[in-house]
Every structure is written in structure tokens, then in C-alpha cells.
């Protein structure tokens, strides 16, 4: 059994300390190595295939090999729906996770951070195929990352898989698909059930706005469509803490300015890519196979996360099926960020340190 009792008792205190702005600037650490891996004859779950796909990734640290020549210190980090691997390269992440003495100290761990299929530097609709790009699901993203590790980096075993939001959902899937491959799993800001209710509804608002935008042209637009961008702020509304939004935009003028900025920022993204981001959760439903997970798993959620509403009782119900599972729902405080607390490792890293300790040390 994972020993998290003392940490559960101090969850509220942890949430009050060391908070910094959620959208800190990104700057790759000196040890970061970026590369692309080409995967040939990639078969998608919908029955389509591509002769090759590209997965962009960044590594931190150095692989260590055991007496059998196998890498034994690899860690996989998975990002959220609208992000890329750069989500883990912010100064806050570097300071709180990867610096000397921190839970994922790069002098000890070999950290792999891919851009998920459909995002960033990896293959995606906006590369040229537009809406003819295969309609990938989360399972395809997981499979592409698995091939990157096994075929591209010769990593056969993982010390840890940690993911936030969409990455958290894919962490549940990883534990089911490859039950012997990881020592530890940490899904953050996610729940192990199919998309439905409010979570599916707000996604359909974005998907429907794109598909019904007069400028979308079935995905073959010459210029980016713009009407759908006026709906995209629903993502900010659903992922941020209401009290923090009130404090950051305390007047109508300030709130209107925020809205205009969000619309403008949405217009800088490709509509087909965004459409695929939100539709790709079509195959997500780990609940029926949770008993297949063999690694130690500890899930971290936040009580003020509207996407993964704590009042649904999902974790209390579903975690019973996970043989070596545990979880915490961190309480809301005056300094909470809602779903975006995932970008504040200073809040949740004590649980990560405990999970790594309980599953043994590296070399």
C-alpha cells in the first residue's frame, strides 16, 4: 500500500505555498536535447494508416544502463490537450521538478517529453493533410509515444509515467496497455471515465463552432476561419478557478479585455488542429480495464477543477478497481488555480516525491 497518509493530512498547506503565475515564460534548460523520430507504417485505431508520422520530443538528463545494458532511469512526461512538451520546460517546472535535489533531478533521471501526435512539432492536420489527416484518438497518441520509447530511444522500462490533464488521461491508458512497463504512474487533473456530461458538452461547443464556421470549408480553407474563435474562451472559463478569474479581471472592462485577448490568441492556432485536439478524446474510457494496471498509481486532482468535478465521486468509486492505487483531491484555497493547478508543481510535487520513494530508487 502506498504510504500517503501524512501527505493527505497536509494537502491544504501544500496548496498555499510557493505559487507563481501559471503561464510563466518557456526557456529550455541547457541540458535539453530536441529531436524528431519518424515512425513508419503507422496504423490508426480508426483503420486508416500513414506511411510515416513524426514525433517531436525533448530529453533531459542522461540514460543510465543496468548490468544488462537496459536503460533503468527513464521517465515519460505527457502534456495536456492544448499544450506541447514545452509545458514542462517553464522556469517553474525546471526549478520545482528538475533541479538538483528535486523529485525528477536530471542528474538522476532520463526524462522524455514528447509533443503528442497532432500537436507541436509532431505530425498534425495543419502539416498539409487538413481534415484528411486520420482521426486519431488518445490510444493512437499513446501508441506513437510507446514506439518513440521502444523503437526510437530503446527504452523498455519506465521509472515513471506522469501526465497532466489529457496527459493524465493517457497515463491511465498507459497503465492498462503496458502493465509491466512502468514502476509508477501519476495522472494529474484527470478522471478514469469516458467523456460525458459537462466535460463532453463544452468540448462539443468548440467542435461545433469550428465545423459550422462559414470559413472552415470542410477543413480546406485558404485563410484561417475566425468565427469559431469567439467560442474558444470557454476553455479558459472551464479550466480556471473562478475566484482567481475575478481577482484578475475585477471590472467589466478588464473582463472584456481578457475575452478579446483570448479570442485573438485562439486565432493564432490552426482550426483543424484544434478540432482534432478536442475530438480525439472519442476513444477515452479506461474504467472497464482499470484492474489491468499493475504499477503503483497515485492520482492527484483538485477540488476546484471544473473539468474533473470532485462532486461526481468518480475517484472514490473507480479507484477501488486499481490494485495498487491511491488518490488525493486537493482542497480549494484562496490561492487555487482550478484545473490549471497542474502547472504548479510546487503544489503537488510532495506526492510525486513520495510515489518515487515508495517504488524504489534508481541506480
Whether residue 292 sits in one domain with residue 175: yes
- Give the residue from 224, 249, 277 where a domain finishes: 277
Does residue 238 form part of some domain?
Answer: yes
Q: How far apart are the first and last CA of the chain?
A: 23
**285-295 pLDDT per residue, tens:** 999 999 999 99
Q: Which domain holds residue 221?
A: 198-277
Q: Is there a contact between 138 and 166 (Cβ–Cβ < 8 Å)?
A: yes
Whether residue 218 sits in one domain with residue 84: no
Nine cell digits for residue 59 = 530529453
Q: Is there a contact between 74 and 157 (Cβ–Cβ < 8 Å)?
A: yes
- Which residues lie below 8 Å from residue 193, measured CB to CB, with a gap of 6+? 285, 286, 287, 314, 318
- Give the residue from 277, 308, 337 where a domain finishes: 277
Whether residue 334 sits in one domain with residue 188: yes
Q: Is there a contact between 231 and 205 (Cβ–Cβ < 8 Å)?
A: yes
- Which residues lie below 8 Å from residue 358, measured CB to CB, with a gap of 6+? 2, 3, 296
Residue 333 has pLDDT above 90, yes or no: no
Whether residue 191 sits in one domain with residue 124: yes
Q: What is the DSSP letter of 71?
A: B
Does residue 363 form part of some domain?
Answer: no
Whether residue 186 sits in one domain with residue 293: yes
Residue 20 has pLDDT above 70, yes or no: no
- Which residues lie below 8 Å from residue 225, measured CB to CB, with a gap of 6+? 210, 213, 214, 215, 216, 217, 271
Strand spans (E) along 189-317: 296-302
- Give the total number of structural domains in the chain: 2
Q: What is the mean pLDDT of the chain?
A: 91
- Give the residue from 222, 244, 277 where a domain finishes: 277
Does residue 36 form part of some domain?
Answer: yes
**161-206 pLDDT per residue, tens:** 999 999 999 999 999 999 999 999 999 999 999 999 999 999 999 9
Whether residue 39 sits in one domain with residue 120: yes
Higher per-residue confidence, 181 vs 24? 181
Residue 28 has pLDDT above 80, yes or no: no
Whether residue 185 sits in one domain with residue 89: yes
Nine cell digits for residue 109 = 533521471
Q: Is there a contact between 81 and 116 (Cβ–Cβ < 8 Å)?
A: no
Whether residue 27 sits in one domain with residue 65: yes
Whether residue 240 sits in one domain with residue 138: no
Give the pLDDT of residue 336. Answer: 83
Round to whole Å and give the CA distance between 233 and 245: 13
Whether residue 205 sits in one domain with residue 190: no
Amino acid at each position: 500500500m502506498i504510504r500517503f497518509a501524512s501527505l493527505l493530512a497536509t494537502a491544504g498547506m501544500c496548496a498555499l505555498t510557493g505559487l507563481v503565475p501559471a503561464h510563466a515564460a518557456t526557456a529550455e534548460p541547457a541540458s535539453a536535447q530536441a529531436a524528431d523520430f519518424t515512425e513508419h507504417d503507422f496504423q490508426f485505431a480508426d483503420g486508416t494508416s500513414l506511411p510515416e508520422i513524426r514525433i517531436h520530443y525533448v530529453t533531459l538528463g542522461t540514460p543510465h544502463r543496468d548490468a544488462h545494458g537496459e536503460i533503468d532511469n527513464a521517465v515519460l512526461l505527457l502534456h495536456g490537450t492544448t499544450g506541447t512538451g514545452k509545458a514542462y520546460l517553464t522556469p517553474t517546472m525546471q526549478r520545482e521538478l528538475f533541479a538538483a535535489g528535486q523529485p525528477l533531478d536530471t542528474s538522476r533521471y532520463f526524462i522524455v517529453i514528447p509533443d503528442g501526435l497532432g500537436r507541436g512539432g509532431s505530425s498534425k492536420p495543419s502539416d498539409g493533410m487538413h481534415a484528411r489527416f486520420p482521426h486519431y484518438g488518445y490510444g493512437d497518441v499513446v501508441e506513437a509515444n510507446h514506439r518513440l520509447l521502444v523503437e526510437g530511444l530503446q527504452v523498455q522500462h519506465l521509472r515513471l509515467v506522469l501526465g497532466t490533464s489529457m496527459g493524465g488521461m493517457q497515463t491511465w491508458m498507459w497503465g492498462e496497455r503496458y502493465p509491466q512497463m512502468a514502476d509508477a504512474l501519476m495522472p494529474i487533473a484527470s478522471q478514469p471515465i469516458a467523456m460525458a456530461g459537462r466535460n463532453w458538452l463544452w468540448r462539443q461547443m468548440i467542435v461545433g463552432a469550428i465545423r459550422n464556421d462559414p470559413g472552415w470549408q470542410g477543413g480546406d480553407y485558404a485563410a484561417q476561419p475566425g468565427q469559431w474563435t469567439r467560442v474558444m474562451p470557454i476553455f479558459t472559463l472551464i479550466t480556471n478557478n473562478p475566484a482567481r478569474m475575478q481577482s484578475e479581471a475585477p471590472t467589466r472592462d478588464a473582463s472584456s479585455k481578457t475575452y478579446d485577448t483570448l479570442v485573438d490568441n485562439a486565432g493564432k492556432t490552426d482550426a483543424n488542429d484544434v478540432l482534432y485536439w478536442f475530438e480525439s478524446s472519442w476513444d477515452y474510457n479506461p474504467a472497464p480495464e482499470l484492474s489491468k494496471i499493475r504499477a503503483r498509481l497515485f492520482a492527484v486532482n483538485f477540488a476546484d477543477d471544473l473539468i474533473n468535478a470532485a462532486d461526481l465521486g468518480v475517484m472514490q468509486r473507480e479507484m477501488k478497481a486499481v490494485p495498487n492505487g491511491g488518490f488525493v483531491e486537493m482542497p480549494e484555497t484562496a490561492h487555487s488555480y482550478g484545473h490549471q493547478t497542474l502547472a504548479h508543481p510546487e503544489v503537488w510535487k510532495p506526492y510525486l516525491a513520495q510515489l518515487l520513494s515508495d517504488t524504489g530508487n534508481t541506480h
